[in-house]
Amino acid sequence: MDSRETSKILASFGFKNLDKQVFTFKIIFISMFFGLDIPFILNELKSEEKLRKYFNISEVLSPDQVYKTLSLQDSDNLMKALNRILNSRNRVKRRGKKIFLVDATPVDLDFNFHRNKKTKEHLQTLNLKWSYSSSKGFYIGFKATVVIDFDSMNPVCILIHSGAPNDAKLFDPIMETLQKRRIIQKGDILIYDKGYYSYENYQLGISKYKIVPFIFPRDNFKKKTNSMTSYPTHYKLLRKPRKF
Tell me the backbone φ, ψ of residue 107, rounded to 5 degrees.
Answer: -115, 115
What CATH number does the domain located at 94-215 have?
Answer: 3.90.350.10
Cα–Cα distance, 125 to 113 (Å, whole number): 18
User: String of b and e for 181-208 (b: at least 16 CB within 10 Å)?
Assistant: eebbbeebbbbbeebbbbeebbebbeee
Give the predicted TM-score (pTM) of the model.
0.70
Give residue limits of the domains in the chain. 4-80, 94-215
Read off the pLDDT of residues 99-142 as tens digits, 9 standing for 90 and up.
999 998 877 665 444 445 555 556 555 555 656 666 666 666 67
**Average per-residue pLDDT in the chain?**
78
